[in-house]
Each structure stands twice: as C-alpha cells, then as structure tokens.
Amino acid sequence: METYYQPDDLQKFGEIAEGAPDLAKKFFDYYNAVFAEGELTEREKSLIALAVAHAVQCPYCIDAYTKSCLEKGSNKAEMTEAIHVATAIRGGASLVHGVQMRNVAGKLSL
Amino acid sequence: MRRTRAQTLQVNVGRLCNLSCRHCHLEAGPARPEIMTWETMAQIIDCASRFSFSTIDITGGAPEMNPHLLELMEGVSKHAPRLILRSNLVAMQGEQQEALLELCRRLRVVIVASLPAINESQAESQRGAGSFQASIAILRRLNDLGYAHDGTGLELNLVSNPTGAFMPGGQQALEARFRQVLRQKWEILFNHLFSFANVPIGRFKRWLDSSGNYDGYMASLAGNFNPCALNGVMCRSLVSVGWDGFLYDCDFNLALDLPMGGTRRHLTELTQLPEAGAVIAVSDHCYACTAGAGFT
C-alpha cells in the first residue's frame, strides 16, 4: 500500500545532514542537549516531547517518543495523561480566542 | 569472550514456578517437572565447601517452590560470605513461607526481587493478574523484617526488566524513580535497583516473533552494544549449575542448554574451577547482556 509515511524512514533522519552538514550538526547538538537530564529528568522531557508530538501530529515523533517514554520507565497511563495535556492546551487555545469573538461581537452589537 | 577468576556459584533449583512470566527465558511455570533433588543439592554443598566462592546465588523458577530450599541455604551459607536468593516476591506469600523469611533474616541473605514496573497494569502485563499487589505486600513484609533499613545489614535489591520490546532505561534514573514512588505510595524501601534487558530466548523470543518485534528488538540490542559492559558481564566470573547438576556459563546459556565452555560436564566432574582465560560459550542472545548498563 502506498503511503507518505513509512516507519523505517525514522532511521534515516540523520541523512538530512547530507544537504547542509553544518546546520545539521548545530541542530542535532542542540537537540541532544535539550533532551539530556537537567532540571527536568529524561523521563519528564520524554513525556513533554510525547505531548508536543501529538500537538503537532508528527508520526515520527510519536513513534520515537512512545518508545523513549517506555524506556525511561513511563507507562500508558502517564503517557495518556500527557496526551490529554496536549489536547487540553490545543482545545483551550481555540476556546480562549472566543474572548476575541466576544469582544468583536460586543462592539458590533446593540 | 574469556573468563576471569570464578567468584560466584549460581544454583538454579528448577523451572517450577508459581508464575508464568511472559518474558521468562526459562519458560518456568507451575507444570514444569524440573526440580533439583536433595542429592544434587548435597553435591552443590560439597562443591561450595571445596572451592572459595565469594557469592552463592540461588535462582529458579521460583526457588521457594523447591521442597529442600531451606536445607540448601543452611548448607551453602557456611561456605560463602554472601548468599543471594532471587525471588518473584509472589512466591514468598503465605504462612508456609514464614520459616523461609526468618531463615533469610538469620542468615542475612541478600534478596534480589523482580519488580518490572511501579504501575500495576504494566507490571501485571508481564507477570500476571494479582502479582503487583502481592509483590507490594511482600516488600512491606521484608521491610518489617528489617530489610533495607539502615544498620540491619539486610539487603533488598530489585530487578526491573522492561515490560516489552524496548531497552531498559538508565539504571540510575530508574532507581531514583522507583525509590521515590515506592516510598511515597507504599512506604517501601530497598537498597539498589538493577535494570536489565530482556533476553531474546524462551517465552520472550516466542512473543517477539509472534508480535513482529524480533528484528527491531535485535537491532536495538546490537545498536545499544556497550563495550564497557563487557568487563562486568556475569559469565566472566560465574559458574551456573542447573537443576540436574550440569554446568553452564550463565542462566541464559542454561536455558538454551549451551554447556559451560562448550563441553557438557556435571558438577561432580569439577575438580577445579574454570581458569581465568577459559572460553565462554556465546551466541546472539548475549547482546542482551552487553546492551546499556549490562547484566550482573
């Protein structure tokens, strides 16, 4: 079956460096630094990444960070809550703009 | 792969187990007939008296289900400064195990207990329904006996295997997480946590094959090869004895019937310990022990 997304393509992420090696190096150095243990643990960062992956709907990130969360000791219950956090923020972002609607409607209406 | 000096005698007292964990390399379970006899145990005690092992490590199946476990423990405890008993915790339940618990306390046995996860459904996906609450109850019982409390000298360690086809997380971070959650939720203490990869043999391999995870998992194991783990892998300093007295380089080779150094030998034929430099039997499953933090 033909499809845009192939799971095996995730392994080819590093090949993007071939087009612009210096930029790729900057990006991947930064990326690895972001996910290293800091004030937040690696597990906490993986859960955040998983939530963001669902917010931006990146199938590569969902695949990678599901595995990463499990490896770092998380579980489906935690991971599902993290997805709900993304959902609440995305939904909330739409809903809070309703304040703009109400402002405009209020100005225009008798 | 070659040996260093043999320091540990690991005794597998049989494949009989009260659980049928889905990752079990030995495919242990309640119907397994392989149970070490007292005759073989007597040979082991004799072996332990003749050689200087720093550690004797009793494993299974569920060692608690062997009818002669207590006598074996009493017998070998005189011959090595450190005695380890591996336990799935669930097998320690019940009044009939109180004598075992008291013996562990008296002999200062190091208990190494399996706990794959601190989440009930995740843990039970590997070990079966009811196993998690039973494990928590027994861990609290062991703490009540003095295990993991400062000053008692009673050591309780946990082993966590991933509940699926993924690598174990960083051991230090996992230990910190387990320590925090077990203390906060259940007031449970432990000394150390070891995080080991699942070995792709036995029941786990059959699940890897049937779930389509085998190739990806082997690639992960090989990709996580850590040359630093090679020095510490258990086969380099361990002699493993099976339920019938035959010798292996480790419990995983025992599961595959891959004899020690490639030659089938019985414990009673051991006139000297395998020498430093002796060859270790290896195969593809060995990548599990060289992934990440390794396997001790």
Q: Which residues of chain A have pLDDT under 50?
A: none
A-chain residues near B122 (CB < 8 A): 75-76
Is pTM beyond 0.95? Reply is no
Compute the distance between CA of residue B9 and CA of residue B237 in angstroms, rounded to an integer. Answer: 9
In a domain, B191, yes or no: yes
Phi/psi class of residue B218: alpha, beta or left (left: φ > 0; alpha: ψ in -120 to 50)?
alpha
- The pLDDT score that the predictor gives to residue B295 is 67
Q: CATH number for the domain including A90?
A: 1.20.1290.10
Q: What CA–CA distance (Å, rounded) separates B227 from B220?
A: 15
Quote the pLDDT of residue B290: 81
Q: Do B162 and A71 touch (CB under 8 A)?
A: yes
> CATH number of the domain that B54 lies in?
3.20.20.70
Within-domain flag for A104 = yes
* B177 close contact with A: CB closer than 8 A: yes
In a domain, B116, yes or no: yes
Assess if residue B237 is contained within a domain: yes
The answer to the question of residue A30 being in a domain is yes
Give the gyration radius of chain A's Cα atoms.
19
8 Å CB contact between B110 and B84: yes
What domain range includes position B244? 8-288
pLDDT score, position A2: 85
Does B293 map to a domain?
no
Pick from B6, B2, B80: which is nearest to B237 by CA?
A: B6
Counted domains in chain A: 1
Q: Quick check: B164 and A37 CB within 8 A? A: no
Which of A43, A45, A68, A70 would you mutate first to test chain B, the one with the most B CBs within 10 A? A70
| Residue A102: partners with Cβ closer than 8 Å, 6 or more residues away | none
Looking at the complex, does the CB of residue B162 fall below 8 Å from at least one CB of chain A? yes
Specify if B114 maps to a domain. yes
| Predicted pLDDT of residue B235 | 82
Decide if B2 is inside a domain: no
Q: A-chain residues within 8 Å CB-CB of B119? A: 75, 77-78
Residue closest to B232 by CA, chosen among B168, B171, B290, B157: B290
Residue written as tokens 């090949």? Answer: A15
Structural domain range at position A35: 16-108
Of B118, B164, B170, the CB nearest to A70: B164
Count the domains in chain B: 1
| DSSP-assigned letters across all residues of B247-265 | EESSHHHHHTT-BGGGS--
Alpha carbon distance B209, B207 (integer Å): 5
Candidates B172, B177, B193, B196: best to mutate against A (most CBs of A within 10 A) is B177
Residues of A in contact with B121 (CB under 8 A): 75-77
Question: Does residue A7 lie in a domain region?
Answer: no
The pair of three-digit structure tokens given for residue B256, joined into one six-digit string: 């595959």
pLDDT of residue B296: 61
User: Which residue in chain A has the smallest CA separation from B175?
Assistant: A73
Q: In chain A, whose CA is at the least distance from the CA of B196?
A: A71
Chain B hits for A72, CB-CB cut-off 8 Å, are 169-170, 173-174
CA distance A69 to chain B (A): 9
Per-residue pLDDT of chain B (296 residues; tens, 9 = 90+): 888 888 999 999 999 999 999 999 999 999 999 999 999 999 999 999 999 899 999 999 999 999 999 999 999 999 999 999 999 999 999 888 999 999 999 999 999 999 999 999 999 999 999 999 999 999 999 999 999 999 999 999 999 999 999 999 889 999 999 999 999 999 999 999 999 899 999 999 999 999 999 999 999 998 888 888 777 788 888 899 999 999 998 888 889 888 888 899 999 998 888 888 888 878 878 878 888 766 66
Chain B residues in contact with A42 (beta carbon < 8 A): 169-170, 173
Q: Domain for residue A31, yes or no?
A: yes
Torsion B49-B50-B52-B58 (CA) sign: negative
Burial B22-55 (b: 16+ CB within 10 A, else e): bbbbbbbbeebebbbbeebbebbbebbeeeebeb
Looking at the complex, does the CB of residue B164 fall below 8 Å from at least one CB of chain A? yes
Cβ <8 Å between A71 and B167: yes
| Integer CA distances (angstroms), B182 to A68, A107, B131, B137, in order | 22, 57, 16, 12
Contacts of B165 in chain A (CB under 8 A): none
pLDDT recorded at residue B262: 85
Whether the CB of B213 is below 8 Å from some CB of chain A: the reply is no
